[in-house]
């Protein structure tokens, strides 16, 4: 029985009925399934982190939308770049530039920026595919979720917030009257204040800027805590 010659088989298209267009297969079943599986895992992990950890506290629908589309775009970009044999360093540089184009026009809070880069990292890992095995691939994604969950739980248990207050009773800002100052602030604000720091003092107006540290009763971050004065119409 003659041996199988791959060159002859290739010449006569024996054993390979795939159609190519400009050197690219028209349909690649195994490659398509691999892409869909990796994309499904990436989408699920990014959705869990965004929905259950970020959105549950912040309720920011605009960032929800941004994070999900950002992670999806990065996944497909890296997946396709990987198939095109592009160096990983070039791909990471592209992501860095892409992530800074829009967000240089607005200062991102540290929590939002942290979640953004976490989702970028997950999408890069998933877009690169399974480097070693299915177990390691799944383990990395599960570890991401577990670490975010633990840090969010610890952060909620020890969470404190700060507020800037313009205070008029400057006779109470003296160090020996700190307890009276905190008692007055607790009474007037209703906040569970644990620390007070005195900033600039205006003796002409008899006011001082205080940075108050308190334990919030609302898990949602307060975006106006650092506002020092109300707007005037």
Integer Cα distance of 27 and 16 in angstroms: 12
Max mean pLDDT range (2-6, 84-88, 190-194, 227-231): 190-194
Which candidate, 115, 126, 139, places its Cα nearest to that of 54? 115
At residue 233, the pLDDT reads: 41
Domain boundaries, the chain: 27-157, 161-215
- When mean pLDDT is compared across 56-70, 95-109, 150-164, the lowest value belongs to 95-109
Of 170, 165, 145, the closest CA to residue 212 belongs to: 165
111 pLDDT above the threshold of 70: yes
The predicted model scores a pTM of 0.61
Of 74 and 86, more confident: 74
pLDDT digit string, tens, across residues 140-167: 899 999 999 988 887 665 677 888 888 9
DSSP bridge pairs for 213: 162, 195
Yes or no: say if 219 and 55 are a contact pair by the CB < 8 Å rule. no
**Structural contact between residues 182 and 193, judged by C-beta atoms closer than 8 angstroms:** yes
Tens of pLDDT, residues 177-195: 989 998 999 899 888 888 8
Q: Residue 14's pLDDT band (boundaries 50, 70, 90)?
A: very low
Average pLDDT over residues 202-224: 79
Question: Alpha carbon 91 to chain centroid distance?
Answer: 19
**Amino acid 223: pLDDT:** 61
């Amino acid at each position: 029985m003659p041996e199988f010659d791959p060159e002859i088989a290739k010449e006569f298209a024996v054993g390979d009925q795939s159609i190519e267009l400009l050197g690219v297969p028209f349909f690649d079943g195994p490659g398509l399934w691999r892409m869909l599986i990796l994309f499904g895992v990436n989408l699920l992990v990014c959705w869990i982190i965004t929905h259950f950890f970020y959105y549950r506290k912040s309720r920011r629908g605009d960032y929800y939308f941004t994070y999900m589309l950002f992670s999806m775009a990065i996944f497909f970009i890296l997946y396709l770049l990987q198939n095109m044999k592009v160096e990983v360093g070039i791909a990471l540089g592209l992501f860095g530039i892409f992530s800074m184009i829009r967000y240089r026009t607005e200062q991102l809070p540290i929590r939002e920026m942290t979640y953004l880069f976490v989702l970028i990292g997950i999408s890069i890992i998933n877009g690169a595919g399974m480097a070693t095995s299915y177990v390691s691939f799944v383990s990395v994604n599960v570890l991401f979720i577990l670490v975010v969950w633990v840090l969010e739980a610890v952060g909620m248990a020890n969470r404190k917030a700060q507020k800037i207050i313009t205070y008029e009773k400057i006779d109470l800002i003296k160090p020996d009257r700190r307890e009276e100052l905190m008692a007055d602030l607790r009474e007037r604000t209703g906040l569970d204040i644990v620390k007070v720091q005195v900033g600039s003092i205006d003796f002409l107006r008899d006011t001082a800027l205080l940075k108050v540290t308190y334990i919030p009763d609302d898990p949602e971050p307060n975006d106006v805590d650092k506002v020092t004065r109300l707007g005037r119409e």
